[in-house]
Structure 1
Amino acid sequence: MQAIPTAIEGVFILEPMVFGDSRGFFMESFNRRAFATATGVDVDFVQDNHSRSRKGVLRGLHYQIEQPQGKLVRVTQGVVFDVAVDIRKGSPTFGRWVGVELSGDNHRQFWVPAGLAHGFVVLSDTADFLYKTTDYYAPQHERCVAWNDPAIGIDWPLAAHGIAEPLLSDKDRAGLPLSQAGV
């Protein structure tokens, strides 16, 4: 496994070793020892989640004010643009974002540590999105930063993929600007 550092400390793009031939491929999707060696982070995951979404669905930017979750995310089918936003008070990169394309073909994973907001948009017809979390989902503590907050300025690749407007849940439509999000 190769861990590629990003512009935000603690956020990594992970490239697992994939062994393929005419029959298909094999990869270890997670190995605690390899993950710790590559990232310097030793984590306990407590929950696995799987979502399927159609093209144009944008989920995020989510975080929990208590029980913050670190997330190891990947896509097994389709393509998404995945984003992490640093909302850690006092961080030198507070308010900055990094993004990566994850797909069933590139096998990349994205490590988003606890204390960051996270979201993604589906660029293919559908996408299966899987992620491990370091703490349990706590809806009473979940919050949402507006996906289009101009102060953050995420360059979502919507138009390049024929997406005029993202499809949002009511919760995501009600996301607040980072300046009002209570982080």
Structure 2
Amino acid sequence: MNITIKNMVCGRCEMAVKVELEKMKLPVVSIKLGEVNLSRELTDEEIHKLSINLERLGFELLVDKISKTIEQIKNLIVELVHYQKDQLKVNLSTYLSECLNQDYSALSKLFSDNEGTTIEHYFIAQKIEKAKELLVYDELTLSEIAIALNYSNVAHLSNQFKKVTGSTPSYFKKMKENTRKQIDSL
């Protein structure tokens, strides 16, 4: 049985969910961002209890198809931007269509109708948050950050950064106050 969980955006989230599933003695096959595979179906009582336990941890058990699909889109983008070391070799629409085995225009409409933003804007927001993170760490140059985030050049990254944040990457780096956002709040 596959279950979809909202707000699982990092390795610590996966560990927290795993601990909760183990406490409930549920048979986990695998866990990845936003998704858990169990070796058997859960009873209604188990689903209810799991839902309550996950909500206490800041997660949400998703049961309807629309919510699951939107969460899968978000998780694929988060994984792509924040955790995947290799650059995307195809465009985002092809990547999402292939991963979810659905037509991109249908995915795009579903996402926009339910999230109030486009997939592309969500993708850009994730890339800018990753750029902020890398700027704060101060280990890479702006050129290296642009390459790491698959921008065509530094100017493209800088323009997008300013459009989203209102400041240039250089100004952001000099700011004393950290204005980064949590991934799950984007």
Q: TM-score range by the shorter chain?
A: under 0.3
Please, what TM-score do these two structures have when normalized by structure 1?
0.28
Q: TM-score normalised to the size of structure 2?
A: 0.28
Q: Between Structure 1 and Structure 2, whose CA radius of gyration is higher?
A: 2
Higher relative contact order (CA 8 A, sep 6+): 1
Higher strand proportion, which one?
A: 1
Higher helix share: 2
